[in-house]
Each structure stands twice: as structure tokens, then as C-alpha cells.
Amino acid sequence: MIYRPIISLLLLGLLAGYSSKNSDVVAGHKVAAEKFFRGVYGGDPSVVDECAAENIVMSYPIFQTLFNSPVIKGHDSVTNFINRFSTKWKDPKITVHEIIAEGKAVVLIWSFRARDAFYDSSGQSNTGPEKSWGGITVYHFNQEGKIESEVGEESEPGPIGRLSSGKSKT
């Protein structure tokens, strides 16, 4: 009979250790997701090698219009996307409003502001007015802790912008 309390204590200890380890993994996923998001939309392609699985898949509704496909796949495609995005949008300001994580999934609620870059007829680079939008992005991680998918929805204004603009005027 003395073994039952000892076994119970051992099981509780193992579960507590698993819970602590799992919370450390989830916390690491939150950090990696935010770092990847800021890198992708802030123009730092080094985050692809650091944070993304080789077979990463990214999808946003705008991709169908931009790439004639709802997804981009793999390191090279994501790196090319980052390089093109960073030439299109100058002086990006990224705000992550909330990060929610559970298991292998992380959700970011974010907003983005930047100046639209364009080239005039002489090839001179110019920037237009600042534009902004926001969205919700879900990241999924593989067993190695690398991002295997980024799936997002975006709108203008974004979720946080709609909340602040929808306040009652009475």
C-alpha cells in the first residue's frame, strides 16, 4: 500500500515536468512566430533559414491575385516574396497586438503600416502615402520547432482598426 502514494507522487512529478517542458516549447513557438512575421514583412530574409521548415507553405487571400496561386511554397519562394515585398513597401511599422499559442499552433493579431514604393518614368524611386492594414495569422510548427505553415487573413482596416473605429459616438 505504501507504493500507491509514491507512484502517485512520481506521476504528478512527471506530469508537472511535461507541463513545464510543453509550456517552454509553446513559449518558444510564440517567439519564433513573431520573429518570423517581423522578418518577413520587415524585409529580413534570414528568418527563413532560421525559423522555417524547408517545405513551408504560406497563404493569404491576396496571393491568388499576386501569384495566380493561393499559396507559396518552400524556402526559395518565401525568400523571393520577402525581397519583393520589401521593395514594394518602405519604412514598415509592424505592431503585434496579441499572440495566442497552444500546442503547435500560434495566432498573431497584427497591424502593418508602410509607404507604397513606386518608380517614376525616369526610374527614380519614390514613396507614396502611408497605407495600413491588419490581420490574423496562424502558424503551425513541426516536430523540430520550425514553421511549416503561415495562413493569414488581412483587411483594411484590420481587426484592431475595426474595433477602434467601431466605437459608439453617443
pLDDT at position 10: 40
The continuous run of DSSP H or E covering 169 comes out as: none
First CA to last CA across the chain, in angstroms? Answer: 69
pTM of the model: 0.80
Euclidean distance between CA atoms 89 and 67, whole angstroms: 17
Q: Residues 6 or more apart from 57 whose CB is under 8 A from it?
A: 71, 72, 73, 148, 149, 150
Report which of 25, 26, 46, 40 is spatially closest to residue 72, judged by C-alpha positions. 40
Euclidean distance between CA atoms 98 and 134, whole angstroms: 12
Cell numbers placing 48: 527563413
The string of pLDDT tens digits covering residues 52-110 is 999 999 999 988 888 899 999 999 999 999 999 998 888 999 999 999 999 999 999 99
* Domain definitions of the chain by residue range: 27-165
- Alpha helix locations (H) across 62-128? 62-67, 74-88
pLDDT at position 118: 75
Euclidean distance between CA atoms 70 and 84, whole angstroms: 17
pLDDT at position 74: 97
β-pair partners for 154: 135
Euclidean distance between CA atoms 90 and 27, whole angstroms: 31
Euclidean distance between CA atoms 70 and 63, whole angstroms: 5
Phi and psi angles of residue 102, each rounded to the nearest 5 degrees, phi first: -155, 130
Please tell me what DSSP assigns to residue 70. S
pLDDT at position 158: 63
Q: Which architecture characterizes domain 27-165 according to CATH?
A: Roll (3.10)
The string of pLDDT tens digits covering residues 22-66 is 788 899 999 999 999 999 999 999 999 999 999 999 999 988 888
User: pLDDT tier at 15 (50, 70, 90 boundaries)?
Assistant: very low
Task: Answer whether residue 19 shows pLDDT above 50.
Answer: no
Task: Answer whether residue 165 shows pLDDT above 60.
Answer: no
The string of pLDDT tens digits covering residues 117-162 is 877 777 666 778 888 899 999 999 999 999 999 999 988 766 666 6
Strands 105-119 and 52-59: unpaired
